Amino acid sequence: MKNLKVIKNNELKDWAEEIFKKNSFNMVDVSAKKETHRRALASGKIFVGKEVFNLIKNKEMPKGDPVSLAEVSAVLGVKKTSELIPLCHPLPIDHTASKIIMHDKDNTLEVFCVVSAYAKTGVEMEAIMGVNAALITIYDLSKIVNPHLKIHDVKLLIKEGGKSGLWKNPEGLPNFLKEIF
């Protein structure tokens, strides 16, 4: 036991970087970071056209209600994020919720997804994945009526927690969030 050398954390990091950083993919090392409360809100839209919009609004879609199923899909998307994004850390999700708002003026459905966790890294990817899962579900249930659908404007609106604190999308926030932030 006399010949054992104690390796300090910074020495371990140095040789690990030397071996693994060059020409390879790697997850960001968050092992030394402190866990903090993290939260993110993302949004996105899908243009479905007047016919599909009215069918959804009147709950007459052939494959069922896209809004209800999309809200469930958002939860599944959040929970499966680290399985689908190769370098994304698996996180212990503490809360997620989604909301879908229908906009008559342009025949769109706008999806919002919020995610929170007490973790060493943020939940932005989980919120964005929740939005995308919901949008793709709406697409799948709507394409039978009209395949000319358009998903657009998927973005992170707010993230908070960790060293950087609160971040708000510089393009602005929806009106209902402006009162809060």
At which residue do the structure tokens 């399985």 appear? 83
Task: Judge whether 140 and 134 are in contact, CB under 8 Å.
Answer: no
Nearest CA among 67, 42, 72 for reference residue 141 = 67
How many angstroms separate the CA atoms of 31 and 28, rounded?
9
* Active site (catalytic) residues: 140
Collapse the DSSP code of 29 into the 3-class scheme (helix H, G, I; strand E, B; otherwise coil) and give the result. Answer: coil
Decide: 132 and 153 in contact? Cβ < 8 Å: no
